[in-house]
Structure 1
């Protein structure tokens, strides 16, 4: 069985999600009482959300959010039936231009004090290849919700010592118009097209029932 096949088989057995700040644990529900359960914990050091946008014509403004929560539910019938949600702490912004972070978080842009969360909720997954797919969903920034489509790539690169369980990892890349979300300030200096990338990596654990 390929690494991707093992990934999908594991996802199909998921029956519940317990989520905490920067952590997700998923327990399998079809193992017998005498068999150890599988759990998947989000690795916060290898997971995150980033935006980048053209700045002053020749530069890119890179933004990373340091705090996020993720949830995977309804995957009993496979990944195509699953619902993925990611909640980003809008006030945890870090940028390659530190003085810009406070401006972006301020009331003329994200207004993180009034709208502390940016949220993505998936609505449909369509496989496009052995290690790729399209994830459709709804992105909410401030009070505006718009549909977005993310290109998903499964990471099958092995990591860790030989014999260790492979992590479950994928990235999701997409674009959105900031003007469509009411974030249209400084059009002469900041581009409209925002590139969004979500990367998550889950560590497999074994636990007795």
Structure 2
């Protein structure tokens, strides 16, 4: 009886597994599908970090990111990236500070509701890395910024069956260059950005 029960349980597990089966994501560009991808907003995060009076590195983030990626694995230099970040989505662990950052002394989300990045050049820097230079617009000012981008993985999402590719991008900018000068240099001028981006292919 125990053997029969164990066999039935094993069969049930085997039948249920394929629903969530997943081929391991690849980091081989040759296996990635080219085409137009859009941001998976639910799984894309934009983080920032700045020195707080030299005592700590204070971090926060943005959400509700949108945008598109035209991906050409055979010719990475031909790829294009466009990202939009709603400034009012800025968040920290302090509600008071979050409200201040949205105000006109800082990001002025009412007057400048979006931060955007539009690539102008993609330079491969290894099998799964690239330097992506583009125009970053923040606080009404547009300046070139270069992001160091690393491929995290690509494949088919086992839940929604969409072809998905993910990257991590990092970069640094001087916030004073964009007119956000409050408390410089007491609060650090160097703003470190990290973008954990997931993109879904449009069929």
Note whether the superposition's TM-score is higher than 0.5: yes
Distance 1:157 1:6, change over 3 A: closer
Question: Alignment partner of 2:188: what SS?
Answer: strand
* CA drift at 1:67: 1.4
Choose the corresponding residue for 1:115, options 112, 116, 125: 112
Q: Which has the larger radius of gyration?
A: 2
Cross-structure match for 2:12: none
Cross-structure match for 1:46: 43
Q: Which sections of structure 1, spanning at least 5 residues, go unmatched?
A: 18-23, 25-41
Residue 175 (1) aligns with residue 172 (2): yes
Q: Is the 8 A contact 2:27 2:128 kept in 1?
A: no
| Alpha-carbon separation, structure 1, partners of 2:201 and 2:138 | 32
Residue 132 (1) aligns with residue 126 (2): no
| Alpha-carbon separation, structure 2, partners of 1:45 and 1:191 | 30
Residue pairs, 1:26-175, within 5 angstroms? 42-73=39-70, 75=72, 78-156=75-153, 167-175=164-172
* CA drift at 1:85: 0.7
Q: Which has the higher strand share?
A: 1
Distance 1:157 1:55, change over 3 A: farther
* CA drift at 1:100: 1.0
Choose the corresponding residue for 1:3, options 28, 44, 57: 28
Question: Alignment partner of 1:95: what SS?
Answer: coil
Question: How large is the Cα RMSD of the aligned pairs?
Answer: 2.7
Q: Is the 8 A contact 1:61 1:97 kept in 2?
A: no
Q: Which has the higher helix share?
A: 2
* CA drift at 1:78: 3.5
Show CA shifts across 1:20-49 (max 9, x none): xxxx2xxxxxxxxxxxxxxxxx43332121
Question: Alignment partner of 1:103: what SS?
Answer: helix
| Alpha-carbon separation, structure 2, partners of 1:151 and 1:193 | 16
| Alpha-carbon separation, structure 2, partners of 1:132 and 1:76 | 12
Residue 191 (1) aligns with residue 188 (2): yes
TM-score where L is the length of structure 2: 0.76
Matched positions, count: 176
TM-score where L is the length of structure 1: 0.74
Question: Alignment partner of 1:94: what SS?
Answer: coil
Distance 1:167 1:90, change over 3 A: same
Cross-structure match for 1:36: none
